[in-house]
Homo-oligomer: A and B are copies of this chain.
Amino acid sequence: MFGGVEAGGTKFVCVIGTGPDAIMETRRIDVAGPAESIEAALDFFRRAVAAGTPLAAIGIGSFGPVELRRSNPRYGFITTTPKPGWSGTDVAGPFAKALGIPVGFDTDVNAAALAEGRWGAARGLASFVYLTLGTGIGGGAVVDGRLLRGLGHPETGHIAVPRRPGDTYEGICPFHGDCFEGLASGPAVGARFGRRAEDLEGADQAAAAELVGFYLAAGVRSITYTLAPERVVVGGGLSGMPGVIDAARAQLRAQLNGYPGLTEHAEPSFLVPAQLGGRAGPAGTLILAEQAARLGADAANSTG
């Protein structure tokens, strides 16, 4: 049995189980300060262990930016988030210390990518991208069967996108103004239309879907030219807005404009909605836990 924490900016979702259809226990925690939020999550797992649930490892998928290099002294930390009070928070450390079991740590979107890869819309693929369109825009990528990591982790929401003709909205990203996230995240759509994206109706809703579809395609174009994925899976609240995926597919064909001539890019199966919805992140943390348990066993074997 594995434990997992989807550590989002507004809520933590703690789970115990082995997959999206095998979650034994769940606790949702409204996020306050780092210490209280982490303690509330620890309390959930401590009680479960005390009640006899054997936890082999725990996985954490965190909002970011986070430090993923194990050689770095701040491995497992949230680094420089704009979220007040959270910069420099050690997230992985307290779990390892309090529970004494292996801890897997990655971004929330990388966790969701893993889950969509095993149980969802990217099953069987070696290389794919998972994007989430919601309060922010984020992305995780699997390359050759493994999560993409490097100096840091993908920050796909901050790539540049070409302007939709006629669009003069300045964008809301505090760092870049009119990046992908700045122009097409939920709050950007809300600010453009004067009401929350999920409350839009009629002509406004249709216009919003065309707008988001345009920018989703623009982001997917540059991601596709950089990563050459077999598929792009799109989750998050905005991905469920009627018309967004269809608009994005049509726009993607127009924006790729036949280059480099891969027929796969024009097929509906190239750009698809996520299948696990809000369960992707929590389920993915269970895969992070499983990987940590395996790594822990390997380390024990190699020293034993």
Contact = CB atoms under 8 A, between A and B. Distances in A.
Given A218-B160, A259-B155, A148 B225 contact: no
A159 B178 CA distance: 16
B150 A227 contact: yes
Interface of A: 64-65, 79-80, 126-127, 139, 141, 143-144, 146, 148-162, 175-176, 178, 218, 221-223, 225-230, 255-262, 264-265
Given A160-B160, A160-B221, A221-B159, A149 B260 contact: no
A19 B156 CA distance: 36
Q: Is the interface of A mostly helix, strand, loop or mixed?
A: loop
For A155, A230, A260, the residue with the greatest tally of chain B CB atoms inside 10 Å of its CB is A260
Given A148-B227, A154-B225, 14 more contacts: A64-B260, A65-B260, A127-B151, A143-B144, A143-B150, A150-B228, A150-B230, A155-B228, A155-B260, A159-B226, A175-B256, A175-B259, A176-B259, A222-B222
B175 A150 contact: no
Given A127-B151, A159-B221, A221-B160, A260 B228 contact: no
5 closest pairs, A vs B, by CB? Answer: A80-B261, A127-B150, A150-B228, A65-B260, A159-B222
A155 to B, nearest CB: 4
Contacts of A258: 175
A221 B176 CA distance: 11
A159 B225 CA distance: 6
B259 A226 contact: no
B79 A226 contact: no
Counting chain B CB atoms within 10 Å of each CB, which of A153, A160, A221, A264 scores highest?
A160
Contact of A226 (B64, B178, B226, B255): B226
Contact of A228 (B144, B153, B225, B230): B153
A219 to B, nearest CB: 9
A176 B257 contact: yes
Contacts of A225: 154-159
